[in-house]
Amino acid sequence: MSEPGATIFSFCADPSSIDGFEWLACYLTTAKHLSIYWSVGTVLLLLAITAPVALLFGFGGASAARSRVWPVSIIGRSYIAVVRGVPDIAFFLFFVIALDQFFEYLRHQVKCPDWDMPIRQGNDFVVCAAAKLPLGNAPQWMHEVYGFSLAVLTFSIVFGAFAANVLYGAMRAVPRGQIETAEAYGMTQRQTFWRILVPQMWVYALPGLSNLWMVLIKATPLLFLLGVEDIVYWAKELGSTKTSKFTDYPHGDWRMWYFAGLLVFYLCFTKVSEAVLGRISRRLSRGQATAAGEAQRKAALS
């Protein structure tokens, strides 16, 4: 039905006449296949943004949990406990719509104070046009960026709770003597926190954060639940049976091979991450008063 689009190889003009390697080369370079390669980029981008944002949430959560003001402390602790006690997928399934409606509701309150219609009309969630996110006349890419940001935010809230737990533990692992010394020097609580505790906690937090990074990588296949067209979406779409009526490249049910490809991709990604994190860990341990730091010192001496 569709005329052949722009192709990378010249021999792809008539896919029905080629076979073997050439067919495969053409097949794997259709515009639709380029989408799955792009979606790998989406996953990497999500990881690159989510990691620091989740760390920020985690830092906030951990600081709140150890606050001396008890309401703040309660909020911090329940954030950590609730998110961690519940399967993440439960959050993924309803956070995106919930967050979307929450933001639109807030904007609605600000931008359309004179609105006299109810926001919930039966099943519908209706806000004024100016409050819609993104605006109704926004181009498609804005919608995609917005959807992607919601996914990042959801991931960050969930993984922030785990990061908070790691950082909370790391703050408590900093030797008491360090804090006491700081106090003896007459530092205020704030100074002790920022100048002594925060710089030293990272080495204790690193094993937990490394673990969290691995877990984060392995949570990315759930992105499609958040409405982002990710590699799982494309693997399902591309691998499914195609009849010759609707494509130039008919094939049977190939989803198993596409998922085998994803499996290999994740294994490689994990391996690379392990190597990089190992390096960082050795770097951070240098000169620290921990077992690993001590071992490095001894190795250097002998």
For other proteins, the closer CB: 195 or 251: 251
Stretch that binds other proteins, among 181-189, 224-232, 277-285, 288-296 (CB under 8 A): 224-232
Binding status of residue 236 toward other proteins by CB under 8 A: yes
How far apart CA 167 and CA 77 sit, in angstroms, is 13
Q: Parallel, antiparallel, or unpaired for β 124-125 and 120-121?
A: antiparallel
- Is residue 134 reached through a cis peptide bond, with omega within 30 degrees of 0 on the bond before it? yes
How far apart CA 62 and CA 161 sit, in angstroms, is 9
Binding status of residue 17 toward other proteins by CB under 8 A: no
For other proteins, the closer CB: 183 or 237: 237
Q: Which of 13, 74, 218, 287 binds other proteins (CB under 8 A)?
A: 218
Binding status of residue 13 toward other proteins by CB under 8 A: no
CA atoms within 13 A on the CB side of 205: 24
Q: Which of 40, 195, 227, 293 binds other proteins (CB under 8 A)?
A: 227
9 burial via Cβ count (<10 Å: 0-12, 13-18, 19+)? exposed
In the stretch 116-155, what mask flags binding to other proteins with x, by CB under 8 A?
Answer: xx---xxxxxxxxx--x--xxxx-x--x------------
Kindly state the smallest distance separating residue 287's Cβ from other proteins, in Å.
24
Q: Which of residues 61-100 bind other proteins (CB under 8 A)?
A: 82, 84-90, 93-94, 97-98, 100
- The helix/strand/coil state of 39 is helix
Kindly state the smallest distance separating residue 175's Cβ from other proteins, in Å.
19
How far apart CA 171 and CA 198 sit, in angstroms, is 7
The backbone region for 122, taken as left when phi is positive above 0, alpha when psi lies in -120 to 50, beta otherwise, is: left
- The helix/strand/coil state of 2 is coil
Kindly state the smallest distance separating residue 181's Cβ from other proteins, in Å.
27
Q: Which of residues 165-184 bind other proteins (CB under 8 A)?
A: 165-166, 169
For other proteins, the closer CB: 204 or 229: 229
For other proteins, the closer CB: 45 or 89: 89
SS3 content of the chain, % helix, strand, coil (to 5): 75, 0, 25
